[in-house]
Structure 1
Amino acid sequence: MKKIKICGMFDPKNIDTISQEDIDLMGFIFYPKSKRYVREDINKAVDNLPHHIKKVGVFVNATREEVIKLITQYHLDYVQLHGDESPEDCAYYKEKGIKVIKAFSIGQVTDLEKVAPYSNYCDLFIFDTPTSDYGGSGLSFDWDVLKHYRQDTPYLLSGGLGLHNIESALLLRDDRLIGFDLNSKLENDQHHKDITLVRELVKNIREYERI
Structure 2
Amino acid sequence: MIIKVCGMRNADNIRQVSELDIDLIGFIFWQKSSRYVRMISSKAGVLPDYSTERYRQLSEGNLVVATENKPKRVGIFVDDMPQNIVTRIYNYNLDYVQLHGNESVVMIDNLVKTIDPDIHKNIKIIKALSINTPDDIDRYKEYEGHVDLFLFDTKCDTVGGGGKHFDWSMLERYDGETPFLLSGGIGPEDVEQIKNFHHPKCVGIDINSRFETEPAMKDVDLLRTFISQLKGV
TM-score (norm: length of structure 2): 0.83
Structure 2 match to 1:43: 53
**Any conservation in 2 of the 1:8–1:36 contact (CA below 8 Å)?**
yes
Larger CA deviation: 19-28 vs 31-40: 31-40
For residue 172 of structure 1, report the CA deviation from its aligned partner. 1.0
The alpha-carbon distance between structure 1 residues 24 and 133, as it changes in their structure 2 partners (threshold 3 A), is closer
Count of aligned pairs: 206
Runs of 4+ in 1 over 4 A off after TM superposition: 47-50
For residue 68 of structure 1, report the CA deviation from its aligned partner. 0.6
Letter in 2 for 1:132: D
5+ long unaligned stretches in structure 2:
40-50, 57-64, 117-122
Larger CA deviation: 132-141 vs 72-81: 132-141
For the aligned residues, what is the CA RMSD?
1.9
**Any conservation in 1 of the 2:209–2:215 contact (CA below 8 Å)?**
no
In 2: Cα distance, 1:86 partner to 1:141 partner:
25
The equivalences for 1:110-129 within 5 A come to 110-129=135-154
In 1: Cα distance, 2:102 partner to 2:127 partner:
10
The secondary structure found in structure 1 opposite 2:13 is helix
Structure 2 match to 1:55: 73
In 2: Cα distance, 1:163 partner to 1:136 partner:
14
Larger CA deviation: 57-66 vs 92-101: 92-101
Structure 2 match to 1:25: 24
Q: For residues 118-156 of structure 1, what are the alpha-carbon distances to aligned partners after superposition, in whole Å with 9 as ceiling and x for unaligned?
A: 011100000000113434311010001000001010000
Letter in 2 for 1:138: G
In 2: Cα distance, 1:20 partner to 1:49 partner:
17
5+ long unaligned stretches in structure 1:
none
The equivalences for 1:1-211 within 5 A come to 2-39=1-38, 41-43=51-53, 51-95=69-113, 96-97=115-116, 98-207=123-232
For residue 190 of structure 1, report the CA deviation from its aligned partner. 4.6
Q: For residues 21-48 of structure 1, what are the alpha-carbon distances to aligned partners after superposition, in whole Å with 9 as ceiling and x for unaligned?
A: 0000000111111111112544269x67
In 2: Cα distance, 1:184 partner to 1:49 partner:
28
Letter in 2 for 1:56: V
Larger CA deviation: 24-33 vs 84-93: 84-93
In 2: Cα distance, 1:49 partner to 1:20 partner:
17
Letter in 1 for 2:144: S
TM-score (norm: length of structure 1): 0.91
The alpha-carbon distance between structure 1 residues 42 and 182, as it changes in their structure 2 partners (threshold 3 A), is farther
* Aligned sequence identity (%): 39
The secondary structure found in structure 1 opposite 2:79 is coil
